[in-house]
Structure 1
């Protein structure tokens, strides 16, 4: 008979421990799932922010390049303000966005950077020719610059970003 109360107490203790263990495991699993959801949301937010910055910096860079190609730079200082700074911001944004792009998308961005870099170099030569601080600069030829080439190159990246952020956009 003494065993009956002992068995009852042992059963109660075992049930309590088992219940607490199950509750702990369930709470831990829920916390892990919540943590994973938060991580995924932050990753998605970071991707969106980086691609948005890439888009905005490219848009600004393209707009500035188009203006300077149309109006011409005033001097080298104007070149740095209106061409070099937006170009550098675009390059920085592209470097930060690289981790969210696949290899084909990276090639598209690199091609656009190359196009903009060629135009940036030509605009610098033009600015140096107009600046009195660079009297020995070479004669520069306008035919090397093309607003259409800049637009086509930028549009490829804009389309890529749009599809990356909204895969259903083309459907």
Structure 2
């Protein structure tokens, strides 16, 4: 089965990521063993994490699609997300190098969150009349993403 639409990666990229996750798990002294018999195996567990990241479904939906329990989805997420992030971080280009010689556009965007207004925080933005935090994004005019900032302190404009 091709997981391209689900994960955003082609077959070679996905296999490379799974191999990197396998190597990281083997190297971790307290991590989960990749040889452990997981309900869906390591390959599908990585696909599951990528699916959750890319599509953002509720875990119950992912559980039904993968034929496992919501608790298993939650355990895979908690175990593998930090490992997947670590492996993928090696492939993130330096923003200065990625933008060298290119025209780039930089803008902020509101990333919506649930209603924090009742908790008295400053995440409510009056202009869009929504709650969230601000990210700065750099991209080429063709839409190639170059960089995304960490959340900017303070409420969005």
Question: Would the TM-score normalized by the shorter structure come out above 0.5?
Answer: no
Structure with greater contact order relative to length (CA < 8 Å, sep ≥ 6): 1
Select the structure that is richer in strand.
Answer: 2
Select the structure that is richer in helix.
Answer: 1
- Relative to the length of structure 1, the TM-score reads 0.23
- Relative to the length of structure 2, the TM-score reads 0.24
